[in-house]
């Protein structure tokens, strides 16, 4: 069995924010906008002008915390009160995951995703990631319906701090390095090969254009390199996540990320930065079983990813014990990996990672 679940249409076009109303009008007259204060500050004037031009009724609501079951329920109720015919998500991963879930649980209303950062593939992904109110990972919602449109305006993303794009690149890189162990251990499923080929294409895109895209982002310039990297972060990583079969293939770095979210010190770090540390730990797990992890570590250094728990403020060995204990990898998944992922192995890998040199410095801690 192979299942591929994707949005109806993905479009990356400069100046697209001013045309959002064009895409809403054929679908709905009443719109509930779910956004964040920061995202709305940078998009409201242009977006509202487009909605007014088409005579659309809209109500704007802010998500100020995480994508939680409570926030989804509250916004779903507001969608009902407003008699919303479409959900418009404008923002980063937490906002878009929440908006997707609200639409999916509101009789599968059409939803349009407008990502304002390229820090994850949330605009495309067939799941919504759930957290507690305090930001600890709780689980995921599998969605029945994905966005009708993913509308990417590279001019909006070009104006965001480069830290977000670095985190997005690392999150997308992770797909390849998380699929690779299953391939090494003899998993020859067609679905895995499809996912891995797409994930590798993203890595190749970053190798060819990543450094130039970051330089362009730093200068707030929209260039072919920046567009390609944005597409790789959102669309290629999203496609890789969209291919499924009957076997679960949990990403080890993402499982470590999920455990890290239970540590208060991790809250100021972006998703991709925590995934980066998870990849550094995975590299230690692989090295203990004879696999060369230098390419992976070089990728992480290239994008200033945290390489040690100390960088995230996790300096106590008792915290490393807790992190290792809270990594959840089902036994049937663990048996299909070419290295051990039990609590003891994870604890040893964390300790080894803690001894590694980490050049990553952080001056901007805005999440």
Select from 280, 123, 272, 124 the least CA-distant residue to 206: 272
Q: Could you tell me how many helices (H) and strands (E) the chain has, helices first?
A: 15, 10
Residue 54 annotated as binding site: no
Residue 3: strand pairing partners? 244
Residue 94 annotated as binding site: yes
Residue 187 annotated as binding site: no
Residue 251 annotated as binding site: no
Residue 254 annotated as binding site: yes
DSSP, collapsed to helix, strand or coil, labels residue 244 as: strand
Residue 173 annotated as binding site: no
Report which secondary-structure segment, H or E, holds 45. helix 37-53
Pairing of strands 111-115, 149-152: parallel
- Sign of torsion, CA 291 295 300 304? positive
Residue 296 annotated as binding site: no
Residue 185 annotated as binding site: no
- Nearby residues of 221 by Cβ (< 8 Å), 6 or more positions away: 158
Residue 114 annotated as binding site: no
Contact call for residues 5 and 242 (beta carbons, < 8 A): yes
Please list, residue by residue across 298-332, b when 16 or more beta carbons sit within 10 angstroms of its beta carbon and e when fewer do: ebbbbbbbbbbbebbbbeeeebbeebbebbebeee
Select from 354, 215, 346, 237 the least CA-distant residue to 282: 346
Residue 125 annotated as binding site: yes
Positions marked catalytic: 171, 254, 257, 271
Residue 61: strand pairing partners? 34
Binding-site positions for glycerol read 171, 254, 271
Binding-site positions for NAD(+) read 93-97, 125, 131
Binding-site positions read 93-97, 125, 131, 171, 254, 271
């Amino acid at each position: 069995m192979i299942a591929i679940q994707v949005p109806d249409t993905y479009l990356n076009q400069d100046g697209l924010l001013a045309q959002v109303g064009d895409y809403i009008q054929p679908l709905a007259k009443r719109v509930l906008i779910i956004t964040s204060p920061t995202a709305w500050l940078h998009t409201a004037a242009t977006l509202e002008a487009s909605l007014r031009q088409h005579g659309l009724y809209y109500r704007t609501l802010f998500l100020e915390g995480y994508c939680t079951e409570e926030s989804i329920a509250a916004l779903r109720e507001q969608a009902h009160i407003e008699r919303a015919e479409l959900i418009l998500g404008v923002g980063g991963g937490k906002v878009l995951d929440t908006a997707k879930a609200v639409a999916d649980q509101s009789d599968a209303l059409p939803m349009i995703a407008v990502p304002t950062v390229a820090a994850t593939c949330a605009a495309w992904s067939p799941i919504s990631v759930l957290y507690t109110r305090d930001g600890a990972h709780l689980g995921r919602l599998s969605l029945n319906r994905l966005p009708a449109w993913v509308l990417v305006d590279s001019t909006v993303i070009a104006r965001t701090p480069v830290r977000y794009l670095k985190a997005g690149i690392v999150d997308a890189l992770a797909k390849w390095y998380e699929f690779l162990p299953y391939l090494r251990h003899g998993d020859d499923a067609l679905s895995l090969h499809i996912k891995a080929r797409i994930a590798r294409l993203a890595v190749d895109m970053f190798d060819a254009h990543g450094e130039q895209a970051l330089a362009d982002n730093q200068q707030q310039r929209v260039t072919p390199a920046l567009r390609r990297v944005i597409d790789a972060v959102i669309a290629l990583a999203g496609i890789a996540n969209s291919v499924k079969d009957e076997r679960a293939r949990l990403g080890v770095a993402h499982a470590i990320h999920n455990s890290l979210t239970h540590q208060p010190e991790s809250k100021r770090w972006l998703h991709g930065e925590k995934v980066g540390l998870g990849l550094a730990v995975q590299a230690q797990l692989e090295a203990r079983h004879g696999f060369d992890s230098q390419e992976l570590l070089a990728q992480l250094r290239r994008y200033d990813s945290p390489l040690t728990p100390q960088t995230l403020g996790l300096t106590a060995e008792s915290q490393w014990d807790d992190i290792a204990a809270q990594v959840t990898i089902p036994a049937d998944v663990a048996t299909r990996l070419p290295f051990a992922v039990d609590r003891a192995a994870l604890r040893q890998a964390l300790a080894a990672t803690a001894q590694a040199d980490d050049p990553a410095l952080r001056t901007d801690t805005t999440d």
